[in-house]
């Protein structure tokens, strides 16, 4: 199949910051970008050639959108299967709809990983109070109950600390299909963002170290400060997942490193990922250019990291006392500011990030946290305490 060359039009399902950064990379390389989402004046729409406002369920609008583009990708996985199927009848979707089908629903995702021989936490699918009680009896406590769909940044999750509260936790999550997972006693959380091309070529950005606060990714350190054998094992796990799913595009494999030094895959994100934002400043090819290259059938770019980096998220909390002091944050010559163009700042909402480059990961982390602290002396999150 011939590649889609500059001048082609890329369709993007979703219109948040991931779509924004993808559109910026695509337009820099001479591509046109059309976005589709139920909103207008969105982060991605602001920098796209055409912004279509339509519900994902509006298949007539979806087909009209598909007829205007050459290939479609997505930055948001909660898109109905019927939507992707309608598009695939007209133009290629990359990653394919089957990848989205697996990754957007936790029961399917866990079963896929287990069948593929990928290490995951012990789990049970539950859809009733009786099933929740039985699952707790089999797995034990503590455990984590997660909705099968639409969970992100800690939403749709509850820790089950004792069997007596298990049913109540399930009802509090809406009484819908969930996954109960055994609690993983982990040393740290890590992820591997990678890409796979049409020809099966696989390239990754290494295992990065992630810290969360309030269940939201707070800080990423790249490269992650892990032994070489952990870096290698994490990359090979990611490769196995990509090949088993036949991914064409960029995706992220999130993992836990247990205190015993074992890797356990937590979940998949079939798109660029927050933990890969450092690549825009620190790598020869960013995760967004890489997504474009893979989706268009081009050769993948080098993932070599030029300098160690740390990325600190900027949440809407920063705006609680007025506009942050952007000049102070940019005072560091090696600190890069990225804002997502969101109109309204809300508590917990991702509004942007800072990336700092330095000679070592530790120094990069120090610079990123100092830059964020300079925005307001009242802004403090768990990741700011260092390690």
| Cα maximum dimension of the chain | 60
Query: Can you tell me the mean pLDDT for 338-358?
Result: 96
Contact status, residue 288 vs residue 91, Cβ threshold 8 Å: no
Distance, in Å, from the CA atom of 173 to the CA atom of 381, rounded to the nearest integer, reads 26
At residue 158, the pLDDT reads 87
User: Is pLDDT above 80 for 309?
Assistant: yes
What is d(CA 346, CA 49) in angstroms, rounded to the nearest whole number? 28
Residue 266 has pLDDT above 70, yes or no: yes
Handedness of CA 127, 129, 134, 135 (dihedral sign): positive
pLDDT score, position 34? 98
CA distance 83 to 55: 10
Highest averaged pLDDT of the listed ranges 73-82, 142-151, 192-201? 192-201
Residue 240 has pLDDT above 60, yes or no: yes
- Please provide the DSSP assignment of 314-330 as one string: EEGGGGGGSS--HHHHT
CB 19, CB 287: distance < 8 Å: no
User: Tens of pLDDT along 85-124?
Assistant: 999 999 999 999 999 999 999 999 999 999 999 999 999 9
Distance (Å, whole) CA 282 – CA 310: 9
In this predicted structure, what is the pLDDT of residue 265? 97
Domains of the chain: 9-93 (3.40.50.20), 122-182 (3.30.1490.20), 186-379 (3.30.470.20)
The pLDDT tens digits for 149-183 are 866 655 678 888 888 888 888 888 888 899 999 99
Tell me the helices (H) and strands (E) count for the chain, helix number first: 12, 16
């Amino acid at each position: 199949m011939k590649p889609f060359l500059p001048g082609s039009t890329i369709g993007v399902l979703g219109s948040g910051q991931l779509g924004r950064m993808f559109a910026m990379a695509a337009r820099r390389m001479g591509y046109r970008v059309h976005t589709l989402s139920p909103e207008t004046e969105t982060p991605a729409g602001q920098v796209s050639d055409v912004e279509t406002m339509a519900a994902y369920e509006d298949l007539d609008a979806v087909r009209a959108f598909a007829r205007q583009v050459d290939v479609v990708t997505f930055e948001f996985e909660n898109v109905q299967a019927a939507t992707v199927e309608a598009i695939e009848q007209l133009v290629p979707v990359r990653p394919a709809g089957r990848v989205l089908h697996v990754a957007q629903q936790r029961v399917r995702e866990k079963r896929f990983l287990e069948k593929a021989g990928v290490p995951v936490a012990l789990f049970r699918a539950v859809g009733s109070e009786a099933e929740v009680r039985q699952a707790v009896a089999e797995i034990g406590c503590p455990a984590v109950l997660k909705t099968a769909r639409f969970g992100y940044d800690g939403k749709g999750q509850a820790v089950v600390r004792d069997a007596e509260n298990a049913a109540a936790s399930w009802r509090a999550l809406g009484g819908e299909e969930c996954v109960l997972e055994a609690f993983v006693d982990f040393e740290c959380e890590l992820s591997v963002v990678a890409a796979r091309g049409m020809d099966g070529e696989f390239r990754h950005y290494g295992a990065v170290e992630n810290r969360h606060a309030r269940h939201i990714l707070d800080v990423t350190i790249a490269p992650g400060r892990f032994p070489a054998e952990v870096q290698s094992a994490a990359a090979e796990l990611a490769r196995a997942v990509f090949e088993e799913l036949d991914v064409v595009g960029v995706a992220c494999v999130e993992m836990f490193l247990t205190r015993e030094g074992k890797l356990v895959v937590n979940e998949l994100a079939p798109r660029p990922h927050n933990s890969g934002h450092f690549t825009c400043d620190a790598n020869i090819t960013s995760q967004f250019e890489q997504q474009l290259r893979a989706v268009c059938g081009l050769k993948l770019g080098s993932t070599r990291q030029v300098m160690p980096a740390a990325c600190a998220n900027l949440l809407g909390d920063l705006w609680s006392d007025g506009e942050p002091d952007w000049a102070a944050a940019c005072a560091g010559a090696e600190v890069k500011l990225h804002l997502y163009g969101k109109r309204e700042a809300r508590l917990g909402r991702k509004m942007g990030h800072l990336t700092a480059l330095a000679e070592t990961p530790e120094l990069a982390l120090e610079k990123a946290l100092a830059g964020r602290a300079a925005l307001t002396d009242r802004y403090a999150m768990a990741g700011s305490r260092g390690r």
